[in-house]
Amino acid sequence: MTARLIVRTLSELCVTVGSVIVLFVTYVLFWTGVRADSAMHGEIDRLQERWSDGPVAGAPAGPEPDGAGAPPPAAPYARGKAFAVMYIPRFGDSWAKPVLEGTGRDTLARGLGHYARTAPLGARGNFSVAGHRRTHGDPFKDFPKLRPGDAVVLTDGTTWFTYRIDRRPYRTLPADTGVIDPVPRKSGYGGPGRYLTLTTCDPEWGHSHRLIAWAHLDDTRRVGAGKPDALRS
C-alpha cells in the first residue's frame, strides 16, 4: 500500500511539473511573441503618426541630400524611444521593426535597440543595432540567412538609408565589443566610413555567442522621392 502511494504521488508530481514546463514554454514561445509584436506595431504606428504631423525633431532643415553622404541628426536620440524603422527584404516583404535608443531588456522587448555609444543613423562611424534572435517576437530569427549584397533599409521619416551587407554573419563572443567600434574590428573595413552593425544571440535558443553582420551605407534618398529600389517588389 505504501509503495502504491509513493508511486501515485510521484506520478502526480511528474504530471504537475510537466504541466508547469509546458505552460512556461508556451509563455516563452507564444505569449512573449504576441506581446512583442503588439508593442512593435504600436511603436511603428506612433512613429508614422509623428512623422505625418510635421518635420521630425532633430532632422536637418531643408531638403535631405541624395547619395551616400547623409548628415547625422541634429539632436540625440531619446533613450527608450523609437526613432527609425528597419526593413530587411531577405527576411520577408512584411518584415519591419522599430529601432529604439538603447539596448536594455525593456527596450529590446519593444523592437531593435541602437547601441547608444555608436554613430547616429547615416552618419560617419558605425550605426550599431541589437535584436533578439528568439522570443520577444523573434525579430532576428533568420539572421543566418543574410548574404553579401542584401539590403538593410531604414527611414527616420525624412530620409531612406540603404545599407548593403558585406559578408556572411560572423560568430564571436559577447565580450568582443570591438565589433561595434567606429571601424569594426574583424570586419575587413580598411578605414573610416558609414557602417552598420547588426548583432544577435547565438545559438538560436542560447546566448553563449553573438552573430554579427556588417554593412556599408550604399544610398540615401528623400522620403518624398519614394521608396528605395530595395523595397520595390
Q: Which residues are catalytic?
A: 132, 201, 210
Strands (E), the chain: 82-87, 96-101, 112-114, 125-130, 151-155, 159-165, 170-172, 194-202, 209-222
Say how far apart CA 84 and CA 99 lie, in whole Å. 5
CA-closest candidate to residue 71, choices 25, 119, 130, 38: 119
Distances, alpha carbon 78 to alpha carbons 82, 98, 124, in Å: 8, 14, 20
Task: Extract the C-alpha cell encoding 215.
Answer: 554593412
Name the residue with cell 522620403. Answer: 223
Say how far apart CA 159 and CA 61 lie, in whole Å. 12
Print burial letters for 127-137: b (CB count within 10 Å at least 16), e (below 16). bbbbbbbbbbb
